[in-house]
Amino acid sequence: MENYDPQAIEEKWQRVWKDERAFEVPNPDPGELERHSQKTYVLEMLPYPSGDLHMGHVRNYMLGEVVAHFRRRHGFAVMRPMGFDAFGLPAENAAIQEGQNPREVTPRNIAAIRSQMERMGWAIDWNRVLATHEPTYYRWTQWLFLRFFEKGLAYRKEAPVKWCPNDQTVLANEQVVDGRCERCGAEVEARNLEQWFFKITDYADVLLEEMSLLEEWPERVLTMQRNWIGRSQGADVLFRVEGFAEEIEVFTTRPDTLFGATFFVLAPEHPLVPRLVEGTDHETEVLDYVRHTGARSAVEREQKEKDGVFTGRYVLNPVNDERIPIWIADYVLMEYGTGAIMAVPAHDERDYTFAERYGLEIRKVVEPADGSASQQGPFSAHTENERLVNSGEFSGSSAPEGGRAIVERLAAQGLARTAIRYRLRDWLLSRQRYWGAPIPIVYCDECGIVPVPDEELPVLLPEVTEYLPKGRSPLAAAEDWVRTTCPKCGREARRETDTMDTFVDSSWYFLRYADAHNDHGPFDRELVDYWLPVNQYIGGVEHAILHLLYARFFVKVMNDLGMIGFREPFARLFTQGMLYRDGAKMSKSKGNAISPNEYVERHGADAARMYLLFIGPVEQDAEWQDNGFEGIVRFLNRLWRIVLEQGEKPIVEPLPDTPLARQAHRTIAKVTDDIGRRFALNTPIAAVMELVNEIHRHPDDPAARFAAETAVSLVQPYASHIAEELWERLGHERLWEQPWPKADASLLERETVEVVVQVNGRIRDRLHVAPDLPDQELVALARASDRVRSFLDGAEARRTVVVPGKLVNFVT
Ligand SMILES: [Zn+2]
Ligand SMILES: [Zn+2]
């Protein structure tokens, strides 16, 4: 028998698929959209071309691969495109590491990844490929920016921003994780800079409310977004500063604890601070503290022991005119709330720590309603089961009711109002980096900020020789490019030299695929409305509050602008686990990445494709193991042998009702349910392996050939090349287009039991048979088992013990 030769087979079928454009799906003609209702859009997050793919990536793309094949064979027109997130820090830093211009390195990296993907044999519609650094793409990124600008959703302002000293650029809040740069891990610094922002805060409520449309998203991702948006309900309360005309507003979620406010804290950056202490004994100490804070990083501020200084000034508590000392402390941040808080140490952990340290009064104002002792520590849960104490006329009311009453009374005096605040901040999109889409804006001394007219797009990224980050955009050095004329008045003007955050590029790429070659607009609405929302989106959970939030925002704005007909981009989201090796997440930087190249070279793409899904449930992290991979290689060889053996037999029709026929149908049912409903992609492989083992044990079962064909058909989404080759050798054609097999319900209904087969009392095999199978047939089946035969070794059984539905024992 001919040996399994993955190299030859894979090359052959990849050529066929390419020549036949097997996985390209044409757009329906206008007016025909109705007829093409059976469509599905499967999409994995597009990769950064920052180097070769490693096995971790291969695992991710296998998810979409299986779903795409599965749906195609269920009769859907499947769109599964691919692109490259080619602008931005990942690609640029990869180029800088090589000491080369990203303009040259990026296309090379894209070509390398694409050829790896092609070598994996993935069913991708390459006709729709895009790369975000190409002018044909970023022209429309710029065009969209201008639509946002017209609506006041893109604006420029000076603001305190997060600065990565390593990457030499500002970062969006979403790109700062625990005070560190999401890309490089450097501690971020604070700076005041004029920057461009998207007004995502206008959509804070909508982004929350419309999560109700995301029934098929993982709860974990929704929770992360909810927390990031951070809607909290409470009250704005005004505190008068004693001896000053000013009032300071604070936001509190716990107005019920107003009587427990025993001190007041301003952020060191609060604009009122210098005036409060001017000419007083406290001036030197306070201003020193403010200066020291300025030198501290955000991380330090979060993590160090809470400290602060007294200003010598007081505010008056609006509920009872009590004098409350004003402190300056850097645990209060200017960018959240108003930069001022009323401190209630009895019921807030941070205030409590601070009060303990400086000996400030701690006054309990909430306690359990049933009079039981308060919980240990400074907390209360703000529930109906708690009541107010030490709160004047409000004492005795339940905590929520008391809070409402306090706000009502203050509101009548103009000192408070109920308020909703969000943690979410506007999306900072400027980057002081070379490798990004230029922001299409011109600054004119006469006209101010002037958008570049649509017909002048794209604003091409100039070629520069100095592309390294220096703290100001390298584009500023391209003087001929910067100098331009004002589109409005024609006078000399300057171009914006910052580039856009790469997350802008990826906030709409999934729309472009629907109409990838359009050169008169970003896309035709009709086509986008036809293909979108994405039916199955696949990507890492690390994008929960980055790409996944931004893309939702973009789609909502575009829907509000009448550009598209839906509110959410991704109907169903799947977040896959990570691939580990030697106990650490597989990555190039950790030095534990395995390239698919050498493995594919040796054992073929099918083995890698299959192993990476076999390794464990796709939503969980998994550990790469060479011996596991070898196991799959052995399985493919066995599949090859067994199917070719069966291929020499005639097809028996109608299908006889044998144990193997039933197992084949059960396998169909299981694999179909696992992939289609449960998104369990590892268990189908085990089920097919079991089926193949059964064929091996019962090669003469009249349904063996049918079972072999079934195994080939079911394994096709995983090991597409070998499946196609075997299918052809079985005398059929084009398995990738064949209808997915259907389980015969009448065969499924029949229950089976497991019967143990022993030789001289030792278990040698297990059979799955109908519970009412006559003893005679059961013994015949048991005797036919290869394994049993090898143990009998030609000897005749002296005695045969049968326990119906349980056991057959041959005694020699
Ligand atoms: Zn960084
Ligand atoms: Zn002008």
Whole-number pLDDT of residue 98: 87
Tokens coding 683: 């268990």
| Residues, CB within 5 angstroms of ligand 1 (ion) | 164, 166-167, 181, 183-184, 186
pLDDT digits (tens, 9 = 90+) for 39-66: 999 999 999 998 889 999 999 999 999 9
Residue 151 CA to ligand 2 center (angstroms) comes to 21
Residue 297: pLDDT above 70? no
pLDDT digits (tens, 9 = 90+) for 493-517: 999 999 999 999 999 999 999 999 9
At a CB cut-off of 8 Å and minimum separation 6, what does 168 contact? 432, 433, 469, 470, 471
The CA distance from 331 to 329, in Å, is 6
Ligand nearest to the CA of 492: 2
Residue 450 CA to ligand 2 center (angstroms) comes to 7
pLDDT digits (tens, 9 = 90+) for 765-793: 988 887 777 888 888 888 888 788 888 87
Ligand nearest to the CA of 449: 2
The CA distance from 618 to 539, in Å, is 11
Residue 129 CA to ligand 1 center (angstroms) comes to 29
Cα-based angle 738, 739, 740 (whole degrees, multiple of 5): 110
Ligand nearest to the CA of 177: 1
Ligand nearest to the CA of 443: 2
Whole-number pLDDT of residue 379: 67
pLDDT category, 812, cuts 50, 70, 90?
confident
> Is 11 in a helix, a strand, or coil?
helix
Whole-number pLDDT of residue 523: 97
Ligand nearest to the CA of 450: 2
Residue 487 CA to ligand 2 center (angstroms) comes to 7
Q: Taking residues 572-601, what's their average pLDDT?
A: 90
The CA distance from 496 to 478, in Å, is 12
At a CB cut-off of 8 Å and minimum separation 6, what does 43 contact? 64, 80, 81, 510, 513, 534, 536, 537, 538, 570
Of the candidates 596, 600, 606, 599, which has an alpha carbon nearest to the alpha carbon of residue 13? Answer: 606
Residue 488 CA to ligand 2 center (angstroms) comes to 5
Ligand nearest to the CA of 167: 1
Residue 162 CA to ligand 1 center (angstroms) comes to 10
Residue 489 CA to ligand 2 center (angstroms) comes to 4
Ligand nearest to the CA of 494: 2
Residue 581 CA to ligand 1 center (angstroms) comes to 25
Residue 661 CA to ligand 2 center (angstroms) comes to 80
* Cβ atoms of residues 80 and 123 within 8 Å: yes
What integer best gives the mean pLDDT of the chain?
92
Strand partners, 687: none
Residue 493 CA to ligand 2 center (angstroms) comes to 7
Of the candidates 390, 100, 388, 414, which has an alpha carbon nearest to the alpha carbon of residue 236? Answer: 414
> Is 413 in a helix, a strand, or coil?
coil
Residue 31: pLDDT above 80? no
| Location of structure tokens 């050169």 | 519
Residue 167 CA to ligand 1 center (angstroms) comes to 4
Residue 556 CA to ligand 1 center (angstroms) comes to 30
Q: Taking residues 316-339, what's their average pLDDT?
A: 91
Ligand nearest to the CA of 446: 2
Tell me how crowded residue 794 is: count the other CB atoms within 10 A of its CB.
6
Residue 376: pLDDT above 60? no
Residue 664 CA to ligand 1 center (angstroms) comes to 54
Ligand nearest to the CA of 168: 1
Whole-number pLDDT of residue 488: 96
Roughly how many angstroms between the first and final C-alpha of the chain, as a whole number? Answer: 35
Higher-confidence residue of 381 and 482: namely: 482
Q: Is 805 left (phi over 0), alpha (psi -120 to 50) or beta?
A: left
Ligand nearest to the CA of 176: 1
Ligand nearest to the CA of 184: 1
* Cβ atoms of residues 107 and 87 within 8 Å: no
Residue 163 CA to ligand 1 center (angstroms) comes to 8
Residue 480 CA to ligand 1 center (angstroms) comes to 30
Ligand nearest to the CA of 448: 2
pLDDT digits (tens, 9 = 90+) for 527-541: 999 999 999 999 998
Cis? peptide before 617, omega within 30° of 0? no
* Cβ atoms of residues 344 and 272 within 8 Å: no
Give me the half-sphere count of Cα atoms (radius 13 Å) on the Cβ side of residue 500: 31
pLDDT category, 750, cuts 50, 70, 90?
low
Overall pTM > 0.95: no
Residue 458 CA to ligand 1 center (angstroms) comes to 28
Whole-number pLDDT of residue 298: 61
Residue 91 CA to ligand 1 center (angstroms) comes to 13
Residue 176 CA to ligand 1 center (angstroms) comes to 9
440-467 in b/e form (b: 16+ CB < 10 A) is bbbbbeeeeebbbeeeebbbebbebeeb
* Cβ atoms of residues 340 and 270 within 8 Å: yes
Residue 474 CA to ligand 2 center (angstroms) comes to 25
Ligand nearest to the CA of 490: 2
Residue 713 CA to ligand 1 center (angstroms) comes to 48
Residue 231 CA to ligand 1 center (angstroms) comes to 29
Ligand nearest to the CA of 92: 1
Ligand nearest to the CA of 93: 1
Residue 185 CA to ligand 1 center (angstroms) comes to 6
Q: Which range is least confidently modeled, 32-36, 170-174, 239-243, 712-716?
A: 32-36
| Location of structure tokens 């064979």 | 73
Whole-number pLDDT of residue 177: 85
191-194-196-198 Cα dihedral, nearest 10 degrees: 70
Residue 456 CA to ligand 2 center (angstroms) comes to 16
Ligand nearest to the CA of 487: 2
* Cβ atoms of residues 348 and 377 within 8 Å: no
Q: Is 313 left (phi over 0), alpha (psi -120 to 50) or beta?
A: beta
* Cβ atoms of residues 424 and 160 within 8 Å: no
Residue 434 CA to ligand 2 center (angstroms) comes to 26
The CA distance from 791 to 698, in Å, is 16
Ligand nearest to the CA of 433: 1
Ligand nearest to the CA of 489: 2
| Location of structure tokens 């409060």 | 276
